[in-house]
Structure 1
Amino acid sequence: MKLQVLQDSNGNNSGVYIPQQEWSLIKQQYPDIEEISSDIPDWQKELLTSRLETIAKHPERVKPIQGLFDALNKKVNR
């Protein structure tokens, strides 16, 4: 796939150009792709904001996800 990253006047990434032929292939594989919204509901935004604030206040509580996976695997294998 030959994508082109578009940048604004400050050099920040602002979009992606996908050639028409490749976009058609994507739409064949994912027919509802144009109906997918990039907006998330306000309640989810509020929840994310709350969790990010908690992480910022208590970074020592953040643990690698691998530890959770290991604990879950131990419970499954009992």
Structure 2
Amino acid sequence: MKLQIVKDSKGKDTGVFIPFEDWIAIKQIYPEIEIADQELSQWEKDLIDQRLEKIKNDPKSLKAGQELIEELKK
């Protein structure tokens, strides 16, 4: 996959260009990706805010992804 980073006039990364063929392949693996740009509902935003506040107040409560996956398998 040959990605291209899109930059603004100040050189700051602002986006990524994915070749169309690669985008089709990604959508086949992750069909739910099409809904990624939809607006979150208020309850989802509230839940995210609550979780971020908890992490801010107790950073040690944040677990590594692999650790979380292992815990979920139990």
Q: 1:3 Cα deviation (Å)?
A: 1.4
Indicate the SS of the match to 1:11: coil
Q: Give me the identity figure in percent.
A: 34
CA RMSD of aligned residues (A): 3.6
Distance 1:27 1:49, change over 3 A: closer
Distance 1:26 1:54, change over 3 A: same
- Structure 1 segments unaligned to the other structure (5+ residues): 74-78
Moved over 4 A (4+): 32-35
Q: TM-score, normalised by structure 1?
A: 0.56
d(CA) in 2 for partners of 1:6, 1:50: 33
What corresponds to 2:6 in structure 1? 6
What corresponds to 1:49 in structure 2? 49
Between the two proteins, the alignment pairs up a number of residues equal to 71
The structure number with the bigger radius of gyration is 1
Deviations 1:3-51 (A, max 9, x none): 111011232221222234x257437736x67842423222111111111
Distance 1:3 1:54, change over 3 A: same
Distance 1:34 1:54, change over 3 A: closer
Q: TM-score, normalised by structure 2?
A: 0.58
Distance 1:33 1:44, change over 3 A: closer
